[in-house]
A and B are shown apart, each in its own frame.
Chain A
């Protein structure tokens, strides 16, 4: 990967309009059954403007931005070998239907460990009012090609707590 990309910022083209059905679909997909994710009246009764997104919904926004970064041919990342190393979110407020979100992603670090390319990305998600909504941070690993790898190594290369992930 091209290390000169560190510090470069990539905005999500346009914005991400959060819809009621998208929140319901995401909540269904991850098994979040609480009424505030599905029922507009229940969400409003709980003090929210509309149905509330589950905590990792922001990844849908981040993923769209991330593709802009990762598919940049000049970065030189082999996306076919990318898995997710780690992910964290800092929540400033919940995402609700009706939000018009923007996202800017910055490459914080690029390094190579034992042939694996590792890239650390920070995503700042902001509401239409310019206030922060979620800050995401991810480390992605483009795994080295397995020329010297033994088949039995698969899935057990990385001990718990290692910095090299393996779960996509």
Chain B
């Protein structure tokens, strides 16, 4: 699916997305991105630096949130800019004594917040929620329509 300019107006909602994250997700992301900070895989280390547990890479959450836009656009070259603030950690649990993966769900929504007809662009405002609280602030992408 791709966004056609004629169908887009302020308030247009993009299809939402829920992403399940477990420790394996974080290990994969660490390898893919090269960010091996132990706060993202070592519970004892995370606790030693005052974190509530192993937390997801903020960049993983950022990469996940933009999927709402890339799925909608269909063409990444139409993405002009993208920025977020990381406001709360996504704590990724692992059930003690269990072989089951536990983890966290991140819910992403996107809505067209503004359109610039002269430039042929739209601003998409994104939300990312974990455990009922937003984890990204000012998450915005500008796209070419």
A interface residues with partner B (beta carbon < 8 Å) = 22, 25-26, 28-32, 34, 36, 46, 48, 52, 54-56, 59-60, 63-64, 80-91, 93-94, 137, 143, 145-146, 149, 154-156, 158-163, 165-168
Contact = CB atoms under 8 A, between A and B. Distances in A.
B134 interface: yes
B85 A155 contact: no
Interface string B54-68: 011111111110110
Interface residues of B, number: 52
B100 to A, nearest CB: 21
Interface of B is mostly: mixed
A85 B34 contact: no
Contacts of B71: 34
B87 A161 contact: yes
A167 B88 CA distance: 6
B51 interface: yes
Interface of B: 19, 25, 28-29, 31-35, 37, 39-40, 45, 49-52, 55-64, 66-67, 70-71, 74-77, 79-91, 134-135, 137-138
A150 to B, nearest CB: 11
A116 B136 CA distance: 20
A88 B84 contact: yes
